Amino acid sequence: MNNVAIKVLVVDDELDFLETIVKRLERRGFLAIGVSSGRAALDYLESHSVDVVILDVRMPGIDGIDVLKEIVTKWPTTQVILLTGHGSIEAGMKGLELGAYDYVLKPAKLEDIIKKINQAYERKLILEKE
């Protein structure tokens, strides 16, 4: 799959992690954008089209679950992969029930994240065709 076209928005309040993952995804051919809060993510989505959102669950202000709810309602074809540093079945279950594509525990291998981004993008294309 050609990664160039896939636009990925990474949302995490841990700036070191954010910068690193954005840089790595860019190197792998994705169009990656990083924002550090839920509010900033929603503002960005209002004016830009995004294929996949990598979303940290626990953030100050609007948390990942609330951002997910808004994305699912306003941009139903945009796929969300939740990312969390704490393993919580409840958060994972809730995320999936609310419409997240997947749930990943930190630290996750870059290869695993890329694989999930590609699968999520594939799902977005299927949804757009319907």
Partner 1 sequence: MNENSYLKRNRQISQKSHLKNYRNLELPPSFLFVWIGVSSTLLAILGSSCFHSGISIVFIFGLLISNLLSLYGIYSSLRFLQEQQRQINEHLAQSHKLSALGEIVTGIAHEINNPLAIIYQEVQWIQHCLSSDNPDSINEIKDSIQEVSRQVQRCRDVTHKLLEFARKRKPVTQPANLNEIIEEMVKLVEFTTVTSSPEETIKIERFYDENLPLIALDVPLIKQVILNLLINAVQAMEGKGGVIKVTTRYDGKNSVEFSVIDTGCGIPPENIDKIFLPFFTTKAPGQGTGLGLSLSYTIVHSMGGTIEVESSIGKGSQFTVRLPLKTKG
Binding site for partner 1 (CB under 8 A): 87-89, 92-93, 96-103, 105, 119, 122-123, 126-127, 130
Helix spans in the chain (H)? 15-27, 38-47, 64-74, 89-98, 110-129
Neighbours of 122 (CB within 10 A): 12
Smallest gap from Cβ 100 to partner 1, in A, equals 7
Smallest gap from Cβ 26 to partner 1, in A, equals 26
Nearer to partner 1 by C-beta: 33 or 117?
Answer: 117
Smallest gap from Cβ 65 to partner 1, in A, equals 11
Nearer to partner 1 by C-beta: 5 or 125?
Answer: 125
Nearer to partner 1 by C-beta: 29 or 76?
Answer: 76
Smallest gap from Cβ 92 to partner 1, in A, equals 6
Q: What is the dihedral of CA 115, 47, 26, 10, to 10 degrees?
A: -60
124/45 Cα distance (integer angstroms): 16
Nearer to partner 1 by C-beta: 16 or 97?
Answer: 97
20/95 Cα distance (integer angstroms): 24
The maximal CA–CA distance of the chain, rounded, in angstroms, is 39
